[in-house]
A = this chain, B = another copy of it.
Amino acid sequence: MEDFTFNNPTKIIFGKGREREVGKEASAYGKNILLHYGGGSIKKSGLYDRIVASLKEAGLTVFELSGVKPNPRLSLVRKGIDLCHKENIDLILAVGGGSVIDSAKAIAVGYYYKGDVWDLYTGKGSADKALPVATVLTIPAAGSESSTGSVITKEEGNFKRPFDHEVLYPVFSILNPELAYTLPDFQVACGIADMTAHLLERYFTNAKPVGLTDRLIEGALKNIMEYAPVVLSDRKNYDGWAEIMWSGTFAHNNSLNTGRIGDWASHDIEHELSGIYDIAHGAGLAVIFPAWMKYNYKHDIKLFAQWAVRVMNVEQKFRSDEETVLAGIAAFEQFLESLGLAVRLDGVGIDESRLEEMADKATNGDTTTVGNFVKLKKSDVYNVLKLAL
């Protein structure tokens, strides 16, 4: 097990109707709240009204910045930073999914950063302070509601880049599984692919033994696989959504990577897909992760066999780890397809014309690598993308 420091301070407020507590919780951080959200869906569902009512009841002043899009944009982040300065914002309340929360985090950390906030996402700058961010989660997927991460897209050049820092843990997150009832099929599927990928990125590590977190990750994966069909076939199943929502948050709250170093190549490669083609992150992961597995399983075939048997319920072929692993990867592709997702690039509308460009961008012109389990150079990324064709 690797040495680690773990300290996740996000307060989780989980259950039916608990968004009504948002005013009381938010009031601990000051008077001026920036309500940050996407489009009209939270207005249509009535969530917007409940939240504004709760905030006003607590005597808070509400400012608004809407218009967050999937793959959230740097331009809106810059607008948010200006607004926070102008209105002396005390807390940014993100109401939505991972894109809204990531955008809120970027505004929060950009608020104190002296230069251009994009510097943080390119590694040119560093941060040690952020405005407090809180969330009301509507899409179980990204895990950003209890994580240190934020991913932003810069429109000029279609660069999508992550920034991670512990100042980005939200101060509190309200998780009401009922809020997921109105999600469309495709968004449900992408969310499940995303939380699954967060667990797999952590699972494939060179640290060993890491017995506890191996088993915890395996348990979370099995639970997601058990309840995914429940919520897909019965959109108002509270118990099913409670399992999926809490699994998605737990998957990414950093307790499951204590003592291990995750891989994250699939995420980095996917960022080039959604950066250039503006596809959903979860849909991109469903294409990239199986290809990444096929390219890399020989690096630690015993770990892949353990995953295949313990998680994918593949019968162990005692005379051939490779058969076991390949059956596991096939079962994983079947699971993703059962969600209604494609597992090949053409299924998300991507042909081979820009594979090299993506491999080049992912590795900054072949000067860096992606991934920790195996460090992939530009040619490796290109090969992974080819396997995804």
Chain A positions near chain B (C-beta within 8 angstroms): 1-16, 18, 172, 209, 211-212, 215-216, 218-220, 222-223, 226-227, 239, 242-243, 246-247, 250, 255, 258-259
Among the listed B172, B211, B259, which residue makes an inter-chain contact with A14, where contact means beta carbons less than 8 Å apart?
B259
Chain B residues with CB below 8 A from A218, complex form: 215, 219
Interface contact B1-A6, CB-CB below 8 Å = no
Residue of B nearest to A242 (CB): B1
Chain B residues with CB below 8 A from A222, complex form: 215
Among the listed B12, B239, B242, which residue makes an inter-chain contact with A5, where contact means beta carbons less than 8 Å apart?
B12
Chain B residues with CB below 8 A from A2, complex form: 15
Min CB–CB distance A157 → chain B (angstroms): 39
Residue of B nearest to A224 (CB): B212
Min CB–CB distance A21 → chain B (angstroms): 9
Interface contact A5-B1, CB-CB below 8 Å = no
> CA A259 – CA B209 in complex, angstroms?
30
Min CB–CB distance A136 → chain B (angstroms): 15
Residue of B nearest to A13 (CB): B5
Interface contact B212-A14, CB-CB below 8 Å = no
Interface contact A7-B15, CB-CB below 8 Å = no
Instruction: Give 16 A-B contacts (CB < 8 Å), ordered by A residue.
Output: A1-B246, A2-B15, A5-B12, A6-B12, A7-B9, A7-B10, A7-B11, A7-B12, A7-B172, A12-B258, A209-B243, A211-B227, A212-B223, A212-B246, A215-B223, A246-B258
Chain B residues with CB below 8 A from A10, complex form: 7
Interface contact A215-B220, CB-CB below 8 Å = yes
Known A3-B14, A3-B16; contact A223-B211, beta-carbon cutoff 8 A = yes
Residue of B nearest to A239 (CB): B209
Min CB–CB distance A27 → chain B (angstroms): 16
Chain B residues with CB below 8 A from A14, complex form: 1, 3-6, 258-259
Q: A1-B14, A211-B227 given. 12 additional CB < 8 A pairs?
A: A3-B18, A5-B12, A5-B13, A8-B8, A209-B243, A211-B223, A212-B220, A212-B246, A215-B223, A219-B219, A242-B259, A246-B258
Interface contact A250-B3, CB-CB below 8 Å = no
> CA A24 – CA B247 in complex, angstroms?
35
Residue of B nearest to A10 (CB): B7
